[in-house]
Amino acid sequence: MNKYGVLAIDLAKTVFQVCKTDSFGNVIYNKAVNRKRLKEILTLEKKSLVAMESCGGTHYWARFAKAQGHEVKAIPARLVKSFLQGQKTDANDAIAISVAALQPNIKSSRLITAEDQSLNCMDGARAALVSTKRAQANQIRAYLLEFGIPIAKSDKVLKVEIPTILGDAEKGK
């Protein structure tokens, strides 16, 4: 049995649904709050199990809740879905998160530090740049091939050949 109450949060960008339940699962309140009010709730509430679906913003809010002394459980959305009753609304989602959090067999998603999250962001940005660079190089090769100028698939060859091709074009060759 969970000895704390549960603060189940349906995360969003600006308006969050917070469902507070006692340790037996009885709903104390279920209300929509803005970002500022969510921070106040997490700061003022006594130690609770803060549960949320794993989605955008989860790591930030998990770190914030932990810093306020709460326990945190981030639950994969596919596991929460089976506890949803009624229509899919923010209020019903928050209740489903609360119910799922109290289940002993529901595993929490791995939460990462701000440093690890920053590294993941940099890796993602680098991968996107590499992909864009590769696509641009392939596009240049395709355009040149339409003019009868084949270039081997190598960044080094492309860098060496482009100035030569542009120089020849200026000379009318």
pLDDT tens digits for range 114-123: 999 999 999 9
More confident residue, 9 or 24: 9
Q: What per-residue confidence (pLDDT) applies to 1?
A: 47
Q: What per-residue confidence (pLDDT) applies to 82?
A: 87
Residue 126 has pLDDT above 70, yes or no: yes
Rounded to the nearest integer, the mean pLDDT of the chain is 91
Which whole number is the average pLDDT over 164-172? 76
Q: Does an H or E element contain 115, and which?
A: helix 114-146
Entry pTM? 0.76
Q: What per-residue confidence (pLDDT) applies to 170?
A: 67
The CA distance from 62 to 75, in Å, is: 11
Residue 165 has pLDDT above 90, yes or no: no
The CA distance from 148 to 168, in Å, is: 14
Backbone phi and psi for residue 131, each to the nearest 5 degrees, phi listed first: -65, -45
Tell me the Ramachandran region of residue 25: left when phi exceeds 0, alpha when psi lies from -120 to 50, beta otherwise.
left
Which whole number is the average pLDDT over 67-73? 95
DSSP character at residue 14: S
Residue 172 has pLDDT above 70, yes or no: no
Nearest to 69 by CA among 104, 44, 33: 44
User: 97 to each of 76, 88, 119, how far by Cα in Å?
Assistant: 10, 12, 29
Q: What per-residue confidence (pLDDT) applies to 8?
A: 95
Q: How far is CA 66 from the centre of its chain?
A: 18
